[in-house]
Structure 1
């Protein structure tokens, strides 16, 4: 049963209705069909990226400039589960290569030695994730003052340094921007040492500018926001307990 031009009559049963939906040139149906087709395509791409990365969401949009010049606000970053394709010199069984180790092995990511990781500050999944470079590992209770680069701490002893001795084992991290992130995250109070369980994945590739679309829809772009300060991002505490004067690179997930 057809209604002309070999298009089935939708009243001929479920199979005929489906065939009509797929073949009719009715304007409203064409719109719905294209919308469904686009949604399925996006879903398939998302599932493919998830299969490759092992992380959901596999894409995040960078909200702030604390990783400049190696990452910019508005970059779209592909994140991968840190255990995948990890080199043999990664830290323990974490799959993460620290800056300290990378220097010895000539390993580089995003313009510098060491992995750049996405992590939950203080393990709090309700805070905006941070994407910073891993500098070195500390053990539980370790006095890591002598291990630190003196340029990146704001104290003259372990006792005067935040998170020293280390309250627990984890990574010491830092943003690449030497102007807004002149100290380690742990020295600024952005996070305590990053436990492996807090790491959501390692950053692998960036697509410039493509993250602005997601940031705009998420309301993370505020007109007049000063460079280096993220809207809706993680607050980075100052060393003297005053309001934040350093920033962390906050992320907006792309789902």
Structure 2
């Protein structure tokens, strides 16, 4: 029997709505392994088309945050190298994984950009363990090398002095500096989508870079080869900044997750309601508002249409016809 008291009915509906949302969030958490399981894209740094497209990452999209192990991240360099096991691997419209990370591990809005290359230690030497935590590079590594506190040493402790570097998916192996031309020959081709002129190539170039530590170099698909790690990695790059400076190569501890499935348009609602610290909807493609309106309209009117269709099917079913005949027969008696 239905409770006729309006307050009880309202309370029941509210509990049902909260329960449905809770089940949805828990289901997404179980699927992604992260909490929160979704992020809203705020900028246009990953767009492939000005008017937006499903399959690439646009402002206003919701992106699932997958709990993928750091070592399993596939970079553009690996996915575009013909002799690599990951050749041909693509996500969100281009080769390689898209990752979500905190700049330098600092608090703030995470960055969601593509993993371009991974720089790894090749030869290392043990540091001076008597050096303090705030010691400079030469104090940690009196025999040369670059101090990397996040890499284990042969002595079993964390922190080592890196002498040479390697970049999987490229010809950089056991090198003191990193130079890579993503021209389709030395490495896979990365199109900067910019006008090429003197000293500015149409493809991505990492030139004579001395990494400060190991990690992943990242780049927005729409950023015309201006990598997040700044001009020391790729000439002319502005980089992304946190309270501690330009972002360094992404370490495992800074990783929030790997971008999974895309739920287009729905994040626009959140951007509409965001405060002054958010860019709001200024980067959302105009087409997203139309599709969002269609989705909301569909959610509102679909039950009405579905009810009418079901009612029509029921009325035309043999059972309903037989029931009508029996009712008419009973009325005649």
Same-fold call, TM > 0.5? yes
> For structure 1, which runs of at least 5 residues remain unmatched after alignment?
6-22, 84-92, 159-163, 229-255
Query: Is 2:59–2:283's contact at 8 Å kept on the other side of the alignment?
Result: no
Residue 182 of structure 1 and its aligned partner are, at CA, apart by: 2.9
Q: Conserved in 1, the CA contact under 8 Å of 2:271 and 2:280?
A: no
1:217 deviates by 2.3
Residue 259 of structure 2 is aligned to residue 212 of structure 1: no
Distance 2:284 2:16 in 1: 39
Report the counterpart of residue 92 of structure 2 in structure 1: 110
Q: CA deviation at 1:39?
A: 0.7
- 2:109 counterpart of 1:128: yes
RMSD, matched Cα: 2.4
1:10 alignment partner in structure 2? none
Q: Indicate the structure (1 or 2) with the bigger Cα radius of gyration.
A: 2
Q: Judge conservation of contact 1:58–1:79 (CA < 8 Å) in 2.
A: yes
Q: Residues 80, 226 of structure 1: CA spacing in aligned structure 2 closer, same or farther, 3 A cutoff?
A: closer
1:95 is matched with which residue: 66, 72, 91?
Answer: 72
Q: What residue in structure 2 maps to residue 252 of structure 1?
A: none
Tell me which residue corresponds to 1:29. Answer: 8
Q: For 1:147 and 1:48, how far apart are their aligned partners in 2? A: 42
Match of 1:166 among 198, 211, 230: 211
The number of residue pairs the alignment matches comes to 187
- Give distance in 1, aligned partners of 2:111 and 2:72: 18
In structure 2, list runs of 5 or more residues that go unmatched.
49-55, 122-145, 147-164, 166-175, 183-200, 231-237, 241-246, 286-333
- Residues 148-227 of structure 1: matches in 2 within 5 Å? 149=182, 151-152=203-204, 158=208, 164-177=209-222, 180-187=223-230, 188-190=238-240, 191-219=247-275, 220-222=278-280, 225=282
The aligned counterpart of 1:146 is 179
TM-score, normalisation: structure 2: 0.52
Offset at 1:175?
0.4
CA contact (8 A) 1:66 1:181 kept: no
The answer to whether the 8 A contact 2:42-2:283 is kept is no
